[in-house]
Structure 1
Amino acid sequence: MKKLWLLVVMMAFAMLVACGSGDDGGDDASSDTADSAESTEEGNGETDGETFVIGATQIVEHPSLDRAYEGFQKALEDAGLNVEYNFESAQNDQNNVKTISDKFVADGVDLIFANSTPSALGALQATSDIPILFTSVTDAVDAGLVPSMEEAGENITGVVDLHPDAIQETVNFIDTYFPDSTVGMVYNAGEQNSVAQVDAVKEAAEGTSLTIAERTVANSAEVQQAATTLVGEADVFYIITDNTVVSALESVVGVANDQSIPLIVGEPDSLQKGGFATFGIDYYTIGYRTGEMAVQILTGEKAPSEIPPEFPPEIQLFINKDAAEKQGVEWNSDWDDMAQFVEAE
């Protein structure tokens, strides 16, 4: 009898040990599953709780560049990323560009948003490691930012602000509705972005009835005087997306209104400041698209070198009717169907 009782006790003990061993095995399996899930989550580039620091800079503050920056921020907000922005304007001073870029590198920002050609060049000269995204750049290839519009740089890519057809369409518009005109252009010859555009205007004007008259400036304080010297020579003003001149566009608007000279501009935001017409793009849109690229880079989905630079979406004719009246423009009924109308600020 004692032997039977001893056998029952031993069997019960063995069953308890077995159950304990099974529970341990279950815990290990759960732990392995959790570790595997955590590893997979990291591999998919999840950023829950992570805060990214972006160094944002532009050569000067004016409506077009400001709108591009707003669009950029909105894209990251829509993607749900936690972002801290360190914004710096170079105040149209080339010396500040290097200082700002070097500061971003020293601070170890996660990405640099370079909003203009000088800003992008400064960032690229400062780092080959930190991702750089540019916009509001007219010719990224000639500026040396990317090898071609089909190939990004090692750590840089972005969206340019000049549609391939914008200048040709603008010259055609002037030639059609203001034939035999002398087109007065004011620009900063120190801005590579501007030189490229002026060269493109000259090329587009070949074979037309138009003549180009140029004035160059070194800073915004010289803009009004340069525009004034064109009075009596220029029948039409054409102000491209030159940062120096656009930041002082009111000076040109004043001359255009006083002298009844139609003012063609390079982008829609300048219409709100008194320009008459443009074949342009929406800077908010190109900023937003650049922000979408930033999301891909920050989440680890793509490297900058894997995202080819892009042109902006299609352009269209924008007209400010109030400016047309102030500048003595004879209204053409064609424009009623062609244009999208913009009101002054």
Structure 2
Amino acid sequence: MKWLRITWMGLVLVVLLSGCSLQPDSDAPGLRRVGVLVGTDFRLAKLEGLVDSLPAYGYTPGENIELVVKNAKGCNENLLPLAKELVAEGVEVILTAGRVETEAAKIAARAGQPPILFMGLTGIQEEGLVKDLLRPREGLTGIHNDHAALSGKRLELLVKLVPHIQRVLVLYDPYVVPTIEALAAVREAAAKLEVTIVEAPVSDAAGIAQVLQEQGPRADGILLLPSVFLESEGAHTLVPLASKQGLPVMGVEHSEEEKGFFAIFGITPYDQGYQAARILAKILAGQAPEDIPVEPPAVLKLTVNLDVAEQLGLALEPSMLGYADVLYREGGGNLEP
């Protein structure tokens, strides 16, 4: 599973046959203004990936493209006013870093203008944001990170990396719509793997502490389902409690908050932003969002934290470590196979 890449060849052929260029048009305005709506610092890694990728398509922030960033700093009620500010300021496109940002931008946009580009979402159809992924007609398109659908694969990797695991505590946020899809994937995987799962809804730090106290002693590992709370501030509560009970945690997104997790599998926030730059270039070149299919994740990465494995005294399956893209040590950098 070395940098598993999913490529839609049809999209490549469309670009080649049509002769479309993603480089800036010489007749286009000298400075393109693009809005970026971010709900929390946790998602700024997507912006970093976007900035690093833009030069490949002829755009250099500060020279021929201006990124107008609005950050709600964790206060979701500020997202709609910030989105309206971007519309009022006349940005050509609004890039969004998550679901709540996308919903706010969609409300603020008038009749699909400006177009919206989401830098990584899951449950897109389930939440009614887009009906047809191949031809989105709602004035928005972007990257589908498949976080929910990959939940079953995360369970499989956790169990195969640590063969003694027989009972897994599955933590999820009941207020996250894609949870339904994620739970279905986990239940199906658990049946095939013949492991027991204990599903536990949590939406705050107190809930995490209570569940770990009640279910932790009987569990062999913990699986997180997609949730901004569990992937960010919730991790601060979860990691020390799980470590104390000797429980390896399989996470969803790579972030500073998840350093104490045993393993993480999925597309990184950075890579989601990096991939989104190509779609942005298409929109700036004049393509309508409805002509740009929602893209699946281009890169899926498995990271294993060897320090955590040693601290927990885990007996890892050596052959499975070969599937990891990064073997991570908190004190000594990364070892990439």
Q: TM range, normalised to the smaller chain?
A: 0.7 to 0.9
Is the contact made by 2:149 and 2:182 (CA closer than 8 Å) also made in structure 1?
no
Deviation at 1:87, TM superposition (A): 2.0
Pairing partner for 1:106 from 80, 84, 88: 88
Partner of 1:162: 146
How far apart, in 1, do the equivalents of 2:201 and 2:41 lie? 21
1:205 and 2:187 are equivalent in the alignment: no
Is the contact made by 2:123 and 2:148 (CA closer than 8 Å) also made in structure 1?
no
How far apart, in 2, do the equivalents of 1:158 and 1:182 lie? 37
Q: Structure 2 counterpart of 1:80, which letter? A: Y
Q: Structure 2 counterpart of 1:260, which letter? A: G
How far apart, in 2, do the equivalents of 1:101 and 1:126 lie? 6
Which structure 2 residues correspond to residues 1-345 of structure 1 after superposition, within 5 A?
Answer: 45-46=25-26, 50-62=30-42, 65-78=43-56, 79-81=58-60, 82-127=64-109, 128-162=112-146, 166-176=150-160, 177-178=162-163, 181-219=166-204, 223-248=208-233, 249-269=235-255, 273-300=259-286, 302-339=287-324, 340-344=326-330
Change (3 A) 1:272 1:242: closer
How far apart, in 1, do the equivalents of 2:33 and 2:206 lie? 35
Is the contact made by 2:40 and 2:71 (CA closer than 8 Å) also made in structure 1?
yes
Change (3 A) 1:134 1:318: same
Deviation at 1:271, TM superposition (A): 8.5
Deviation at 1:276, TM superposition (A): 0.8
How far apart, in 2, do the equivalents of 1:219 and 1:47 lie? 52
Deviation at 1:273, TM superposition (A): 1.2
Gap runs ≥5 in structure 2: 1-23, 332-337
Change (3 A) 1:267 1:110: same
Which secondary structure does the structure 1 equivalent of 2:313 belong to? coil
How far apart, in 2, do the equivalents of 1:182 and 1:253 lie? 18
How far apart, in 2, do the equivalents of 1:96 and 1:204 lie? 39
How far apart, in 2, do the equivalents of 1:47 and 1:250 lie? 50
Q: Structure 1 counterpart of 2:26, which letter? A: E
Which secondary structure does the structure 1 equivalent of 2:95 belong to? strand
- Root-mean-square deviation (CA, aligned residues, Å) is 2.7
How far apart, in 1, do the equivalents of 2:204 and 2:33 lie? 32
How far apart, in 2, do the equivalents of 1:313 and 1:224 lie? 36
Change (3 A) 1:53 1:169: same
How far apart, in 1, do the equivalents of 2:254 and 2:314 lie? 18
Deviation at 1:109, TM superposition (A): 1.9
How far apart, in 2, do the equivalents of 1:117 and 1:284 lie? 17
Deviation at 1:222, TM superposition (A): 5.0
Change (3 A) 1:281 1:245: same
Structure 1 length-normalised TM: 0.77
RCO greater where, 1 or 2, for CA within 8 Å and sep 6 or more?
2
Deviation at 1:147, TM superposition (A): 1.6
Deviation at 1:161, TM superposition (A): 1.6
How far apart, in 1, do the equivalents of 2:134 and 2:316 lie? 41
* Count of residue pairs brought into register by the alignment: 299
Deviation at 1:131, TM superposition (A): 0.8
Change (3 A) 1:232 1:163: closer
How far apart, in 1, do the equivalents of 2:126 and 2:206 lie? 28
How far apart, in 1, do the equivalents of 2:205 and 2:34 lie? 29
Is the contact made by 1:145 and 1:153 (CA closer than 8 Å) also made in structure 2?
no
Deviation at 1:99, TM superposition (A): 2.5
Q: Structure 1 counterpart of 2:312, which letter? A: Q
Which secondary structure does the structure 2 equivalent of 1:143 belong to? coil
Is the contact made by 2:163 and 2:316 (CA closer than 8 Å) also made in structure 1?
no
Which secondary structure does the structure 1 equivalent of 2:131 belong to? coil
Partner of 1:3: none
Is the contact made by 2:148 and 2:178 (CA closer than 8 Å) also made in structure 1?
no
Which secondary structure does the structure 1 equivalent of 2:127 belong to? coil
Q: Structure 2 counterpart of 1:292, which letter? A: R
Residue deviations 1:157-178 (CA, integer Å, cap 9, x gap): 0012226873232222234444
More helix by share: 1
Q: Which has the larger radius of gyration?
A: 1
